[in-house]
Structure 1
Amino acid sequence: MKNLSTPSNNTERLAKRVAAEHGLSRSAAEQYIEGGFVSVDGALVEVPGARVAPQQKVVLAQDASLDALEPVTLLLHKPPGFEAGLGLEAAAAAHGSRSQGAPPASTLLAPSTHMEGDAADTRVLQRHFRALECFTPLPTPASGLVVYTQDKRIARKLAEDIESLEQECIVEVAGQIADNGLKRLCHGLSFNGRPLPPIKVSWQNETRLRFALKGIRPGQIPSMVEAVGLRVVAIKRIRIGRVPLSKVPEGQWRYLQPWEKF
């Protein structure tokens, strides 16, 4: 197929062609194209401004529907070493990261990193990687669940309620825990001069602790762990509210399903 991005005297915008051939408004034609319903010479094209020649065959799929163009939410398994959330990524991209050049975690969101076997029945489209917001920051050295959304309702929910949503983390530790250390982790420690509320902490195995807590602050878990004689080796967030990371491989992502609620 010829280059669709190079203008020439005998070509026109794909959206104009689709609108004319199907009696659509230009806006509707653009939405159909971005929705993955238009092909040119048998190849899917998602760019309304692509150039097409008169002899090229443009097809609008029979099942094309504007109802399918709902905003999406992506759940990323962030690896250590990436910036994530609340303006950190923009700062990393614009100025170099606060964490020694760490790249933005959003750079991992692409069709090629979509989790194989995602249970969500959603076609991966280029439009799904635009206008994403993140209100679930995660320290650069940590790994685990980070949420990116186009859905204004979910964005508002996370922005307003992140402090009250329980987050579950698996913390790998080293060292010997102090006497009554587990009990103190659950209740009895302070952070930044303030007593911490009761927290659910339990051993997952000999080297990993499970934390379930709300209103987590940067540096809080390492401080708590050090207070009872241990040292953090790694932190992995596996749940936010009622939404789990599930079996998403590190560096990949899945779609939030319609029935999943934070």
Structure 2
Amino acid sequence: MRLNKRLAELGHCSRREADEWIARGWVRVNGQVAEMGLTVAPGDRIEVAPQAAAQQEARVTILLHKPVGYVSGLPEDGHQSAAVLVKPQTRWREDRAARRFEAGHSRGLAPAGRLDIDSTGLLVLTQDGRVAKALIGEDSPVDKEYLVRVQWAPNGPKGAGVVAQDVQSVFPPEGLQRLRHGLSLDGEALKPAQVDWQNPEQLRFVLREGKKRQIRRMCELVGLHVVGLKRIRIGRVALGQLPVGQWRYLGEHERF
């Protein structure tokens, strides 16, 4: 396979980072400096220069409590990217990370997973390709947990029969089973999900995939209308007490 793919497979970096390392002469295969486009066999000896590890160490991963009204990625339709909130004055005062904020920490931040404009909660912004791959790679085992406030709206949110209070009492039990397993989006069956009532108006979802507006669309398929959605956990990292609009660094010993 190509060397950049092999480096990513071994967990050293992302493919894009691998290409950068190869271009800088930081990768050797069987003792020889590797060239772009090189293919390797399973038994080939791959070495990475210390400079690559130092560069990775300087890259940051930021945990942001995204407010409603910001998009996760690039600005669109007049809405700002959530990355604009990463600045010294919005750093959570209780952040225990020893890192000092530097201007470079707010550049090149990529969202590792979606959180739509109408949703709030934990958003991961990272400069580290390994983190992005771990969270949004096709085979990622990392689950995400959401609290979702709903209304019963079998005829749509503006149609007749909307129920906003004690939704659990009017929602058919078979609908909950379909949310857990049995729905399809974009022509593909969804992976099994954990879905339970937190209170009569709020559901708790735990998903292992992240299609665009997935929870909202799932709810529509069973007659529910989402009026509030908050992501509270990604893998082993929880939103916790992080205030809306503020951020902190991923801790040195924290792992998703």
Give me the TM-score of the superposition, normalised by structure 2: 0.65
2:119 aligned with 1:142: yes
Residues matched between the structures, number = 185
Residue matched to 2:199: 205
| Structure 2 portions without partners, runs of 5+ | 1-53, 153-169
Q: Percent identity?
A: 43
Residue matched to 1:184: 178
**By how many angstroms is 1:144 displaced?**
1.3
SS in 1 for 2:72: coil
CA contact under 8 A between 1:81 and 1:141: conserved in structure 2? Answer: yes
SS in 2 for 1:144: strand
SS in 2 for 1:204: strand
For residues 113 and 220 of structure 1, the distance between their equivalents in structure 2, rounded to whole angstroms, comes to 29
* Change over 3 Å in CA distance of 1:74–1:202 after alignment to 2: same
Residue matched to 2:135: 158
Matches within 5 A, 1:73-112: 73-85=61-73, 89=74, 92=75, 97=76, 100-112=77-89
**1:213-253 deviations in whole A, cap 9, x for unaligned?**
11221132122212222210011111222222221111110
* Change over 3 Å in CA distance of 1:219–1:128 after alignment to 2: closer
Letter of the 2:67 counterpart? P
Residue matched to 2:102: 125
* Change over 3 Å in CA distance of 1:161–1:70 after alignment to 2: farther
For residues 129 and 229 of structure 2, the distance between their equivalents in structure 1, rounded to whole angstroms, comes to 29
**1:168-208 deviations in whole A, cap 9, x for unaligned?**
11111112422422222112222233332321001111211
For residues 216 and 124 of structure 1, the distance between their equivalents in structure 2, rounded to whole angstroms, comes to 31
For residues 198 and 172 of structure 1, the distance between their equivalents in structure 2, rounded to whole angstroms, comes to 20
Structure 1 runs, 4 residues or longer, greater than 6 Å off: none
Alignment equivalent of 1:257, drawn from 239, 245, 251 = 251
Give me the TM-score of the superposition, normalised by structure 1: 0.64
For residues 196 and 152 of structure 1, the distance between their equivalents in structure 2, rounded to whole angstroms, comes to 26
2:211 aligned with 1:223: no
Whose Rg is larger?
A: 1
CA contact under 8 A between 1:77 and 1:143: conserved in structure 2? Answer: yes
Q: CA RMSD in A?
A: 2.3
SS in 2 for 1:222: helix
* Change over 3 Å in CA distance of 1:191–1:251 after alignment to 2: same
**1:48-87 deviations in whole A, cap 9, x for unaligned?**
xxxxxxxxxxxxxxxxxx99x73221101111111113xx
Letter of the 2:189 counterpart? P
**By how many angstroms is 1:159 displaced?**
4.8
**By how many angstroms is 1:163 displaced?**
4.8
For residues 246 and 213 of structure 1, the distance between their equivalents in structure 2, rounded to whole angstroms, comes to 19
